[in-house]
Structure 1
Amino acid sequence: MPVVDETSAGGLVIKVREGVPWVAVIARRNRAGNIEWCLPKGHLEPGESAEEAAVREIAEETGITGRLVTGLTSIDYWFSTGDRRVHKVVHHYLLEYVSGEVTVENDPDQEAEDAAWFPLDKVSRMLAYPNERRVVAIALDLLYPEANV
């Protein structure tokens, strides 16, 4: 079975309302056809950096324009499709909300079925994938280091 390398980027865009940080996440269908909440992300375009791709993908999938703050972590994993093995690396970044309203109307791939804001400290229970819950934990540690004393 041939092996294919893929690189994606995305992350958490944070908007603070009344002192509470909220994060925009998307709902998409998995291979079984079930809805899963996940962090916005997507493939790099030719000539695009991971940072640029993260900002673009978050805007496309959520309708939110964000400003890059810092890198959070990269997730490296393998999966199989019917005819190939895929080695995927996803670079996750922390972004600060700049403008926009949550919508999936501008998603060119039409992969996102819904998008919504969730409180950062509660979003992990919504996310389908343990690796993405770890990304949220890293963001919480970065934003609130005193909470982990």
Structure 2
Amino acid sequence: MPKPSAPVPGPVPHPPTVVQPRRRREGSGRTASLPVSNETSAGGIAIRIEDGIAYAACIGRRNRAGRLEWCLPKGHIEEGETPEIAAVREVAEETGIDAEIIQPLGVIDYWFTGDDRRVHKVVHHYLLEAKGGYITTENDPDHEAEVARWIQVATLASELAFPNERKMAVAAARLLAIES
């Protein structure tokens, strides 16, 4: 197998993308009475180049309906970690790929409601270069990732389940000068 060449990002036209969903009015409905918690996570898009084609390491998780959804690897920032350290660790744990950060990609900021609380979540995403490892979910301590695979960056946005992650894929393709 030929040795993959390093990704070469294009010029950065503007600061990293910040995606914020529309806000619902506070005080309306059942969610207003639930306690609020804040969570911060990090992850990203680890890239490898093979035969001139850029691929991203992605994970498949089951949604509540049991359908497999493709997502970017990410997870909680642990005590004493920076978002960058957490992103590298989470990519390695969930995909088996050892990677180094090339540059920040963007921040996703959203809310969701669990059974017992409302959660405000902030996720820091990075563009990373794959340096080694093998694509696998065997090292995922949470066992959230059912499967991992390489997806072409050119089609990544159409394969990801969540709109905010699709925006990160488009930003990565733009930085790598790939048409998506």
TM bracket, shorter-chain basis = over 0.9
Which deviations, in whole Å up to 9, do the C-alpha atoms of 1:14-42 show, x marking residues without a partner? 00001110001000112333211000000
Which of 65, 75, 80 is the matching residue for 2:113?
80
Instruction: Kindly state the Cα deviation for residue 109 of structure 1 after the two structures are TM-superposed.
Output: 0.4
Which deviations, in whole Å up to 9, do the C-alpha atoms of 1:83-130 show, x marking residues without a partner? 100000000000001001100011000100000001100111110001
Equivalent residue letter for 2:124: H
Q: Which has the larger radius of gyration?
A: 2
Counterparts in 2 of 1:8-47, with a 5 A limit? 8-47=41-80
Separation (CA, whole Å) in 2 of partners of 1:128 and 1:88 = 17
Which of 95, 105, 120 is the matching residue for 2:153?
120
Helix, strand or coil at the partner of 2:92: helix
1:7 aligns with 2:6: no
Structure 1 residues without counterparts, runs of 5 or longer: none
Which of 109, 114, 139 is the matching residue for 1:106?
139
RMSD of Structure 2 on Structure 1 (CA): 1.3
Helix, strand or coil at the partner of 1:88: strand
Counterparts in 2 of 1:45-84, with a 5 A limit? 45-84=78-117
Helix, strand or coil at the partner of 2:154: coil
Instruction: Kindly state the Cα deviation for residue 75 of structure 1 after the two structures are TM-superposed.
Output: 0.2
For this pair of structures, how many residues does the alignment match?
147
Equivalent residue letter for 2:155: K
TM-score scaled by structure 2? 0.79
Separation (CA, whole Å) in 1 of partners of 2:176 and 2:157 = 16
Between Structure 1 and Structure 2, the one with more strand by share is 1
Moved over 6 A (4+): none
Equivalent residue letter for 1:103: T
TM-score scaled by structure 1? 0.95
